[in-house]
């Protein structure tokens, strides 16, 4: 029934706890992450494919992969 609703997975960063180390940015195969002014990681939702590599890499474990509907 919901054939028109496409589900996608995407990375979300809990910015409050991000230490801005950049490990996620380094590992992302899509270069979807940048470190915003040395404060926190920002994911480009258009580029992220939700592979989860960043979440596994993040030493603070502050990235979550969530399903989103587009």
Partner 1 sequence: MKKHWYDNLWVLSLTYLVLGFFNILFAWLGLLCFFIPLIISLAKGNKGYCNRYCGRGQLFGLLGGRFGLSRKRDIPAWMKSKAFRYGFLAFFLIMFCQMLWSTWLVFSGAQDLRQVVTLLWTFKLPWHWAYHGTVLHPGAAQFAFGFYSVMLTSTVLGFVTMVLFKPRSWCVYCPMGTMTQLICKAKQKKP
Residue 26: contacted member of ligand SF4, partner 1, none (CB under 5 to 8 Å, by partner type): partner 1
CA dist 58 and 23 (Å) reads 6
- The DSSP letter of residue 23 is H
Residue 5: contacted member of partner 1, ligand SF4, none (CB under 5 to 8 Å, by partner type): none
Per-residue tokens: 34: 């940048």
The distance of closest approach from Cβ of residue 59 to partner 1 in the complex, given in angstroms and rounded to an integer, is: 4
Q: Binding partner 1 by CB under 8 A: which of 11, 13, 28, 43?
A: 28
Per-residue tokens: 60: 């603070």
Q: Binding ligand SF4 by CB under 6 A: which of 12, 34, 42, 60?
A: 60
Q: Are 32 and 3 in contact, with CB atoms under 8 Å apart?
A: no
């Amino acid at each position: 029934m919901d054939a028109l609703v496409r589900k996608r997975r995407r990375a979300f960063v809990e910015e409050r706890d991000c230490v801005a180390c950049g490990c996620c940015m380094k590992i992302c195969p899509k270069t979807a992450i940048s470190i915003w002014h040395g404060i926190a990681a920002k994911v480009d939702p258009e580029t992220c494919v939700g592979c989860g590599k960043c979440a596994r890499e993040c030493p603070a474990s502050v990235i979550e992969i969530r399903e989103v509907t587009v």
